[in-house]
């Protein structure tokens, strides 16, 4: 079975993520929920055997190390981001690897990603194991806990200051994002925030809401009421932090 190496460019065209998958649509949905919107027209893919694609990914990660970006949040794929300064070099390395294997390098790279189905938040349990749950009442009931657990709150429109609200979930009865998420197989993915979690990532204790992801949340089916509530409540955290 073929696998796909992807170079997903972020919306600002300042960085890109290198990874591999057997299902690009599912992976794109998961990554978009975590990292925000991608510029699919500028992104690239390469298809091949799992063995070849895995080797190619490792080679790119190694040779592009000096352009690697350290993300502040340990979310899914956080170590696979690189500065856009090396995007062309990544394509050159892929072409060089293709020539070494005797593959036509002109055809191996596909520029632009077209998804066959738009990303929509599922409204009920569906056959592929995906579901979502939005509990606005639970979010409102536990809001005092979330205010107390706030680690940092930032305002401003600077794209470099993308993290809006960071909280420590280690002492919370329920994470606010547990009721603002959808699930794909074993991964729970919260649309409005900067992380995904599963049984394999129990070490996550601090999680953040980003400005980009909050805007994305407002566009997702089923999340408008919760989005309006957060838009009303989050600015009040600035006053709370200033008063401390």
Q: Taking Cα atoms as reference points, which of 93, 82, 109 lies closest to residue 17? A: 82
Q: Taking Cα atoms as reference points, which of 139, 134, 146, 143 lies closest to residue 206? A: 146
CA distances from 68 to 82, 85, 148, 160 (A): 4, 10, 35, 17
CB contact at 8 A, 136 and 110: no
Helix (H) or strand (E) holding 108: helix 105-108
Give the whole-angstrom CA distance, residue 57 versus residue 10.
19
pLDDT of residue 183: 56
pTM of the shown model = 0.54
> Between these two residues, 116 and 19, which has the higher pLDDT value?
19
CA distances from 22 to 3, 45, 196, 241 (A): 5, 12, 19, 44
Displacement of CA 5 from its chain's centroid (Å): 17
pLDDT of residue 13: 93
The mean of the pLDDT values for the chain is: 75
CB contact at 8 A, 243 and 159: no
CB contact at 8 A, 208 and 218: no
DSSP string covering 132-154, please? EEE-HHHHHHTHHHHHHTEEEE-
Check pLDDT > 50 for residue 130. no
Q: How far apart are the first and last CA of the chain?
A: 57
The tens digit of pLDDT for each residue in 76-106 reads: 678 899 999 999 999 999 998 888 876 654 4
Check pLDDT > 70 for residue 154. no
Tokens 């606005």 locate to 136
């Amino acid at each position: 079975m073929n696998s796909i190496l992807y170079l997903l460019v972020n919306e600002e065209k300042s960085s890109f993520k290198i990874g591999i998958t057997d299902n690009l649509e599912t992976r794109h949905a998961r990554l978009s929920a975590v990292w925000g919107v991608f510029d699919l027209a500028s992104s690239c893919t390469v298809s091949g055997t799992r063995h070849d694609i895995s080797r190619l990914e490792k080679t790119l990660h190694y040779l592009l190390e000096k352009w690697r970006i350290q993300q502040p949040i340990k979310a899914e794929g956080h170590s696979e981001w690189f500065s856009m300064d090396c995007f062309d070099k990544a394509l050159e390395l892929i072409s060089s690897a293709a020539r070494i294997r005797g593959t036509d390098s002109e055809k191996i790279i596909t520029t632009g990603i077209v998804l066959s189905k738009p990303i929509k938040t599922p409204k009920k349990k569906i056959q592929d194991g995906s579901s979502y749950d939005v509990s606005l009442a639970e979010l409102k009931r536990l809001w005092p806990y979330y205010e107390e657990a706030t680690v940092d709150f930032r305002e401003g429109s600077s794209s470099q200051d993308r993290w809006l609200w960071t909280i420590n979930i280690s002492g919370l009865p329920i994470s606010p994002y547990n009721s603002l998420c959808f699930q794909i197989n074993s991964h729970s993915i919260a649309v409005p925030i900067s992380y995904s979690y599963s049984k394999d990532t129990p070490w996550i204790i601090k999680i953040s809401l980003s400005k980009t992801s909050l805007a994305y949340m407002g566009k997702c089916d089923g999340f408008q009421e919760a989005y309006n509530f957060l838009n009303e409540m989050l600015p009040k955290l600035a006053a709370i932090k200033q008063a401390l």
